[in-house]
Structure 1
Amino acid sequence: MLKGSAWMTVGSIFSRILGALYIIPWRLIFGVSLFPIANSLYTQGYNIYSFVLIVAIAGIPSAIAKQVAHYNALNEYGIGVELYKKGLILAIITGIISAIVLWVSAPWLTNGDDNVIPIIHSLALAVLIIPSMSLTRGFFQGYEDMVPSAISQFVEQLARVIYMLISAFVILKVLHGDWVTAVAHSTFAACVGSIFGFIILGWYYWRRRDYYQELIANSNHKLEVPTRHLYGQLISQATPFIILGAGVTIFSLIDQFTFFNIMRFATDLSNGTLQVQYAIFAGNANKLTMIIVSLASSLAITVVPLLSEAFTKKNTMALKNHFSNSLILFEFVMVPAAFGMAAIAGPLNRTFYGTANMEFSSNILSFSSIQAIPIGLFVVISSVMQGVSQNKRAVKFFAYGTVAKLVTQFPLVYFFGSFGTLISTIIGFVVANVLMIVSLKHDFGIEKNKLEKNTTEILLYSLIMYFVALIAVYALNEFFGLFTNQLSSIMSLVVTVLAAIAGGFVYVYFVLKSRIADEVLGNRVAGLRNKLRIK
């Protein structure tokens, strides 16, 4: 789990960091006046695209990973390869259909802003390619081989960022063109990135083709699964992955299509002001918090084939251990990451987005950082449930969480504005998470004492780290303010890095000192403890 998580975390984190860093030069290219509305337009288009893409992918990558791991555990590698080939045909078909639907339905998805139409059209092209690419990643993950997925993910994001920055610069600064066209090309970059990501995956498959053929030759060859049954398995396994994989996006779409109407009813704020507020909580904060949520995603992707293998072999002890360890590993990484981002939200927000709406933006980012914990936990727990074939139950629990989000959305947004959307999201995911954990605990058990002990320690050390980082932020701001503008992007970056190092060192010290790092990461961390001279 740790090996797979490490690769997926590296790929996912670097991709997310790239996906956040681009905003600095992108903001400078669009300028102070255009950036807020361009960012809002970009975010609205991407939310719709994300949902359609999840439907187009149809949960097939995770379903493929699960089923390939299942047949590999039975030493029937040939069926897993055949499953991939059949799934590839299905992915191509769903990609074509979804792209057409997205293109044609664009005028009805604008939320009253016709500028969204060319954005959706540009994103429809990416939907053609990404399902097949994602399915191929799922095939590799079924072999617990996370390297191709991690590297292709990074290359995909790198190509996307390069294209969107160059195209925006050329259109706005060289050709002095329309800002909507520049945003459309920035979103079309998703298609460019997917092409490069797919090429990397194809290269890995070509290199390992002899290895797969050898596994197939040495398989049991006792099972014969008809093509119709293979497709039936894919679709039945994929459907829950669609709903659960789209969970975060569904909540974002609820915000997108209710926030403006509720706020117009509750306030007299102009449409321009509402667009800026929406961009801040749905776009700006989301880009940064998704970096730490991607930590949870990495864990989720890794745990599915492991749980599927244990479930296939009816290894109840392994199921209990994998479930407990996935929760502890999630807490070990996610809780300090969220608390740390909350502590440095002020300078971090200024680094990426400047000083416009500074106090509001920083408070939203700080609150969103804590919101990332239940979101990340949902990603992990829903994947655990799918790994042990509790698909229908997981969907039912998510439905309860969605109802909780819908019921609380209006009153919370009415009274708390943008913060209300974040609070209702927390409530919705907490409801779903509690129901899922209780169900898994009932069916497979949990290492209660170990989990309670580790959770208490991780929470305590994360809180200490939070206050250390927060004090460091205030102290550094005061110090740099004596001889320079500490609110500039460069100085804010310096404050962010130094405060993060201070807080991070405190957390590392405590987890090494208490030996909780040994429990989570293994005995190899003893070497780090010796180097730091921690007894």
Structure 2
Amino acid sequence: MATSKMIRGTMILTVATFFSRFLGILFVIPYYWLTGEEGSFLYQYAYTPYAIMLSISTMGLPLAVSKFVSKYNALGDYEAGRRLLKSGIFIMLGTGLIGFLLMFFGAPKIAELFDIPSSYFDSVVLVIRVVSIAILIVPMMSLLRGYFQGFQSMGPTAVSQVVEQIVRVAFILIGAFVVVKVFGGSVVIAAALATFAAFVGAVAGLYVMMHYWVSRRNKISRMNQGPSSRRRLSLFSMYKELITYAIPFVAVGIAMQLYQLIDQSMAFHYLHYSREVTRAVIADLTMNDQKLVMIPVTLATSLAVSAVPAIVASYARGKMKDVREKITQALQLVLFLTVPAAFGLSVLGNMVHVVLYYNPGQVELMQIGGKILTWYAPTAILFALFQVLASIVQGINRQKVTLIALGAGVVVKILLNPVCMKFFGMIGPVIATNAGYALSIMIIAAAVRKATAYTFSLIAQQVIHIVVYTTIMILLIRLIFFFFGGSFTASRFMAFLILIISVLAGAAVYLLLARYTGLLRKVLGKSHKAGSQSRHSKG
């Protein structure tokens, strides 16, 4: 029964996480229609430092607290989790207040780091100060989420995430519509309301968590009254252990924001375009195109990372053969989904941009966005591999590797970004990002191989199949382009028609080839078999 509850809870949380992330990705499209390049530009300049500060303020709490509480509950020491929650509320209120003050009063200094034109300076300071308000309450909400997850109760976190995201996105879009379309207000005010939505969504999410706490606290209190099989931990020991768990989670969480921050701080200095074009490039790199790139990443990692708990269990029992099999399952699943989606998005980059970000008066900006997406989309493969491999090394107790890998990748990004921007222009940041992530992946892969004796040649055959089928898919899409007269059109209707035909035809060919050759069965069927064996062994 306990195993069934854990599997059900993991699936609920996985679906909720995917839905909330997907909603957070898709909102950029109607938001762009309402506020244009300037709205996306201002929103992301506020959200990047906010996401970094938030990750630091919450200290990776949901997963770290979950791991801590789950461990001590298993040992019969329910009091440890209760004391962590009780003291953690005050600490989270403190870190939230400190994070808020640093961002609110440090907003001018943060804006200076971006090296932006003076005409944008005050607007960027405003949106940074507005979004900083959310940091006051998000850390406490994260603590409660982690505490419930430690009891294998995923429902509160799942509902809270979905409610928070729905309220946030609704507030962004309604606020932008009212300001721009109803009152004819400025895009700056619309962007400020969009960043304030982080606070509104957080309030909704916290309300849900408090509701669950009130309804379940008596049951949890009865568990806390049971006998403890361990000596009483000091608060220092508790938080030392918690921080050890948390730091790798923080590193993975802020990786992408660090790369975006580097791009934002260097773009106006090293990209020698007009101010309008540079603004469009930054908006595409850090928000418009970046969100599209994350769609296949979110889907693949949501499914692949669900295999990580099984990897942890097998590693703890010393069953290295099972560990290697599960690593293969996770990697082949993420590659099977991400490779065709990434390269398909790349070849359709121009069409996607015309359909989603149509602007008849600025064909040049649509072409710029399409070019960036064409180069940026394959990076989704690196994003997905980094996240999955980082989850695996955390599961096999090699947390420090994540920090080393992230640090090395960021250093490479910083060193290469100016050179790549100078020689390759708007696609330079993408090249530097690829180099940084590739180095991080190699470092983590080497650690996985050393710890588990895993041989990456185990997935070589599947990778060859995936590459061949993806190549055939791309050739088919190119043939469709030839039939319709090229890979770019300024007509939204034609772009939509070509996009639909290409996606349906490309996906059908890829899946039919995978099914005919048995790759689809191997990727999905083998995972099912492994999951079934795992359930039987645990039962």
- Aligned partner of 2:533 in structure 1 is none
Question: Judging changes above 3 Å, is the alpha-carbon distance between structure 1 residues 321 and 486 closer, same or farther for their aligned structure 2 residues?
Answer: same
- Aligned partner of 1:15 in structure 2 is 20
Residue identity in the other structure for 2:50: Y
CA contact (8 A) 2:33 2:357 kept: no
The Cα of 1:463 is off from its aligned counterpart by: 2.9
- Aligned partner of 2:41 in structure 1 is 40
Identical counterparts, % of pairs: 30
CA contact (8 A) 1:70 1:312 kept: no
1:65 matched to 2:66? The reply is: yes
- Aligned partner of 1:26 in structure 2 is 31
Q: TM-score, normalised on structure 2?
A: 0.84
5+ residue gaps, structure 2: 1-5, 530-539
1:323 matched to 2:327? The reply is: yes
5+ residue gaps, structure 1: 527-535
Deviations 1:104-151 (A, max 9, x none): 100111134221011011111111222233333334544565554444
1:124 matched to 2:137? The reply is: no
The Cα of 1:366 is off from its aligned counterpart by: 1.8
- Aligned partner of 2:375 in structure 1 is 367
Deviations 1:159-215 (A, max 9, x none): 112111221222223333332111100111111122223333444555665775687
- Aligned partner of 1:511 in structure 2 is 514
- Aligned partner of 1:340 in structure 2 is 344
After TM superposition, the structure 1 = structure 2 runs for residues 82-97 of structure 1, keeping only pairs within 5 Å, are 82-97=83-98
- Aligned partner of 2:407 in structure 1 is 399
Cα distance in structure 2, aligned partners of 1:524 and 1:433: 23
Question: Judging changes above 3 Å, is the alpha-carbon distance between structure 1 residues 229 and 307 closer, same or farther for their aligned structure 2 residues?
Answer: farther
1:421 matched to 2:429? The reply is: yes
CA contact (8 A) 1:69 1:309 kept: no
Question: Judging changes above 3 Å, is the alpha-carbon distance between structure 1 residues 92 and 312 closer, same or farther for their aligned structure 2 residues?
Answer: farther
Cα distance in structure 2, aligned partners of 1:499 and 1:77: 55
The Cα of 1:289 is off from its aligned counterpart by: 1.1
**Equivalent position SS for 2:378:** helix
CA contact (8 A) 2:29 2:356 kept: yes
The Cα of 1:335 is off from its aligned counterpart by: 2.0
1:287 matched to 2:294? The reply is: no
- Aligned partner of 1:533 in structure 2 is none
**Equivalent position SS for 1:114:** helix
After TM superposition, the structure 1 = structure 2 runs for residues 88-237 of structure 1, keeping only pairs within 5 Å, are 88-110=89-111, 111=114, 112=116, 113-142=121-150, 146-204=154-212, 221-222=229-230, 224-237=232-245
Question: Judging changes above 3 Å, is the alpha-carbon distance between structure 1 residues 4 and 462 closer, same or farther for their aligned structure 2 residues?
Answer: farther
Cα distance in structure 1, aligned partners of 2:189 and 2:429: 30
The Cα of 1:222 is off from its aligned counterpart by: 4.3
CA contact (8 A) 1:87 1:234 kept: no
- Aligned partner of 1:383 in structure 2 is 391
RMSD of aligned Cα (Å): 3.2
Cα distance in structure 1, aligned partners of 2:258 and 2:527: 41
The Cα of 1:7 is off from its aligned counterpart by: 4.4
The Cα of 1:488 is off from its aligned counterpart by: 4.3
Question: Judging changes above 3 Å, is the alpha-carbon distance between structure 1 residues 89 and 443 closer, same or farther for their aligned structure 2 residues?
Answer: same
- Aligned partner of 1:277 in structure 2 is 281
**Equivalent position SS for 1:55:** helix
Question: After the TM superposition, which of the residue ranges 233-242 and 282-291 deviates more from structure 2?
Answer: 233-242
Deviations 1:23-66 (A, max 9, x none): 34333333xxxx22222111211111111111112122222233
CA contact (8 A) 2:405 2:440 kept: yes
Cα distance in structure 2, aligned partners of 1:291 and 1:207: 36
Question: Judging changes above 3 Å, is the alpha-carbon distance between structure 1 residues 5 and 64 closer, same or farther for their aligned structure 2 residues?
Answer: same
What is the number of residues matched between the two proteins? 513
The Cα of 1:449 is off from its aligned counterpart by: 5.1
Deviations 1:57-110 (A, max 9, x none): 212222223333434554655544554454444333222211111111001111
**Equivalent position SS for 1:364:** helix
Residue identity in the other structure for 1:415: F
